[in-house]
Structure formats: structure tokens, C-alpha cells
Chain A
Amino acid sequence: MLPNLPDPRTPDPVVDAYRAGIDMSLVEENLRLSHAQRVEKAETFIRSLDAIRGIAMKRINEIDQA
């Protein structure tokens, strides 16, 4: 813990307001994985997003050219 910053456990009403929106089921899945597995899982998801974006842009270009 950094001595010059507040204790992370100090209650914060702004942060608490965000808590309700967090889907912890996804996190709990991650907590069963090793660090390396967590990184690989996240990278796979990011690559999927890139692939979807690529397909979407290709489709948009096809529509524009039609």
C-alpha cells in the first residue's frame, strides 16, 4: 500500500454507487484461473472484438460501394 494515498479499504460513496453494476460472476470465473490464463482469456476476447469490428467495417464498405 502506498503510504501517501488513502487506504484502499476506506469507504467511498462514489465507488460504492458503481458496485451494483458489476457482474461478479465473470470475475469469479477469472479468480479460478492462473495469472497467465487470465491474460490469455482477456486477449482472446479482445481479438474477438477486433474480428467483429473488421467484419463490420468490411460490411459497411460493401454497403457504401453498392
Chain B
Amino acid sequence: MTSSLLQQFADLFEKHDVDAILIGGWAAIVHGSARSTMDVDFVYSRDRENLARIVEALKPLSPYLRDAPPGLPFVWDVKTLEAGLNFTLTTSIGPIDLLGEVPGGGGYLDLINQTQRVDLATSVLRCVDLDCLIQLKKAAGRPKDLEAVAELIQIMERGSQG
């Protein structure tokens, strides 16, 4: 059976020593949420060496901008990552969002102390802890985020350790 989308990205990131933090809908699932989501969201370190590691990790998956008109030139390299900040990508295995900064949360260095280690079946990744995830979703402020917060707060009240 094919491993999950998150697992596949986590495996690649671990193999290439990528510094990235899981946030968003999949982070909520890790904490016990019953809400489904599609794309995988990571906040990544913008350290130049890490950008090179991200490029290498995802290169085999032919990343492309998700909302771009087909045929728009897009080069997957360090220069492209340096020139941008947040990338919503489609890949050969599924969608991934690479975020340099998130509303209210800042970037990788702002979040790294608010994370926990998560053991998946074949790799380990860093995921925002529940308190931080709630704060980020409140800061995002969309109706679907606030609905997610309502669930996450109840998870917090029950304890979410996995």
C-alpha cells in the first residue's frame, strides 16, 4: 500500500535533512483532528543551505506552481526559492505548500521552539505543538480556521498526546 502523502514528504525531508515544520490541516490531524485536508503545509527554514536541500528533496517530484497557467516557465532551484517566500506547489505525488512565513507566527526560527517531534511510520518530523497550532489558526482567522480551532481547543482540554 502506498504510504500517505505526508509520510512521503516526511521521508524525503528526513532523507535530505530538510529543516521544515509541519503546520496546518495535517498538523491538526497529528494532534487528533477528525477534519480532512488535502495539501501538506510546511514552514521551512530560509537558510541558504536548507533551500538547497529542499530543492534536492523535491526535484524528483517535478514541483510546479499550483495556480500558475500551464506552460508558465518555473525553474525549481535555490534562486527561485530565494526570490519568493511562500510557494503553493503541485508535485507528482500531490500538493505541498512551502511557507517562509505565516500570519502571526513568523518564520521557521520563530516557530522551532513551539514544536514537538512526531514519529511517523518511516520517518520523524517536527510539528507545531497544539498551543501554537491553535494560535496560528486563530491568527489566520478564516471561518474554516475558527471552526478548526473549536475542535482543537476541545482536543487540548482532553489531552492530545499520541
Query: What would 27 A/B residue contacts be, using CB atoms closer than 8 Å?
Result: A2-B105, A2-B106, A5-B135, A8-B135, A9-B153, A12-B146, A12-B149, A14-B146, A16-B150, A22-B150, A22-B151, A22-B154, A27-B32, A27-B155, A31-B162, A35-B30, A38-B29, A38-B162, A39-B4, A39-B6, A39-B29, A40-B121, A42-B26, A43-B4, A43-B5, A43-B7, A45-B36
Cβ of B26 and Cβ of A15 under 8 Å apart? no
Cβ of A35 and Cβ of B118 under 8 Å apart? yes
Q: Which of A5, A29, A31, A37 has the most CB of B within 10 A?
A: A5
Residues of A within 8 A of B30 (CB): 35, 38-39
Q: Is the interface of A mostly helix, strand, loop or mixed?
A: helix
Residues of B within 8 A of A27 (CB): 32-34, 151, 154-155, 158
Range of interface residues on chain B? 35 or more
Contact with B along A1-18 (1 / 0, CB 8 A): 110111011001011101
Cβ of A23 and Cβ of B135 under 8 Å apart? no
Cβ of A8 and Cβ of B138 under 8 Å apart? yes
Residues of B within 8 A of A40 (CB): 4, 7, 121
Residues of B within 8 A of A19 (CB): 150, 153-154
Judge if A66 is at the interface, Cβ distance under 8 Å.
no
Q: Is the interface of B mostly helix, strand, loop or mixed?
A: helix
Whole-angstrom CA separation of A14 from B37 in the bound complex? 22
Residues of A within 8 A of B33 (CB): 27, 30
Residues of A within 8 A of B153 (CB): 8-9, 15, 19
Known pairs A2-B135, A5-B136; list 14 more (Cβ under 8 Å): A6-B138, A15-B150, A15-B153, A26-B34, A28-B158, A29-B34, A30-B29, A30-B33, A31-B155, A35-B30, A36-B119, A39-B7, A42-B26, A42-B29
